[in-house]
Amino acid sequence: MIYSVLKLIRVHQWVKNGFVFAPVFFASRLNQSAVWGQMAIAFLAFSLMASCIYVINDYVDIERDRLHPTKCQRPLASGAITKPQAKGLVLLLLVLAVALSITLPWPAIWIVLGYFVMNLFYSFKLKHIAILDITIIAIGFLLRVFLGGVTTQVFISHWLIMLTFLLAMFLGLAKRRDEYLIYLQGKSTRTSIEGYNIDFINVAMMLTASVTVVTYIMYTVSDEVIQRIGHSSLYITTIFVVLGILRYLQQTLVFTQSASPTKILLHDHFLQGIIGAWVITFGYFLYV
């Protein structure tokens, strides 16, 4: 039962909520112990709210998930968790997320509740509209960043907003590509997938990947950023950004393994190495 609950709330997906820490990292404040307590609460509050949405989404999609080759194994679709149990879990997660959020600076509760309301619309209607579906997902990542900013009272630059949105759109398109391949096998699990095709997704992925890299380069050579960080060699980290995007494109276009960005991150050692090298190099410029 416990395993089924953990699987239903998708604890492994909490890694995505690491975006909450992004504003503090880029503001060179990770070495300040005072921010860690508040950041931990913000991370947990958003994670619980995200899990609440996962349960609602699975509840709404029970019949569709039963047609999917892998989603059919989800606790609700497989019957491991009953509908009444799922409803109780939704209420518990919602209460806990709100309770934690009210201990943070007041804008935090509105961000967490805003995420909840937005995803209610997503679960019942917006996820069936092509392009808008992945846009909602990208906005969700922005809300994670905004939560981190208001919690620690860190200014969020336009660079971080643009890069977060573009990267999330890229990942969302990669996921839709995997779902479209399943759709071609005669197993339609998402209405919005009919608004996509392989050519469109491939072009859109190339577009978002290219704009992401160009935006990152502009960020690293910006006079404003160079003056704030105190280093003019930040552009070197572009190497890891390009390698990371190429590796993800390889996973998507060559190996067709883009159904879950989180699983790729947790299992692809090559990609982990690239991200680790970027964090170390970027961290050096920020903190040394």
| DSSP calls for 213-273 | HHHHHHHHT-HHHHHHHT-S-GGGGHHHHHHHHHHHHIIIIIS---S-HHHHHHH-HHHHH
- Residue 188, pLDDT score: 62
pLDDT per position as a tens digit, 100-142: 999 999 999 999 999 999 999 998 889 889 999 999 999 999 9
pLDDT per position as a tens digit, 180-209: 888 887 766 667 788 999 999 999 999 999
- Residue 16, pLDDT score: 94
CA distance 16 to 175: 15
> Which 3 state secondary structure label does DSSP give 121?
helix
Q: Residue 19 in contact with residue 140, Cβ under 8 Å?
A: no
- Residue 190, pLDDT score: 65
- Residue 189, pLDDT score: 61
Pick out the chain residues at pLDDT < 70.
187-190
- Residue 2, pLDDT score: 85
* Local structure of residue 153 (DSSP, 8 states): T
φ, ψ at 33 (rounded to 5°): -60, -25
- Residue 197, pLDDT score: 92
CA distance 204 to 54: 26
CA distance 31 to 283: 11
Q: Where do runs of H (alpha helix) occur along the chain?
A: 2-8, 22-26, 34-60, 62-65, 75-78, 83-101, 107-124, 132-152, 158-184, 198-220, 223-229, 238-249, 261-267, 269-287
What structural domains does the chain harbor? 1-156 (1.10.357.140), 164-288 (no CATH)
CA distance 136 to 109: 19
106 CB burial (10 A radius; 0-12, 13-18, 19+): exposed
CA-based end-to-end distance of the chain: 47
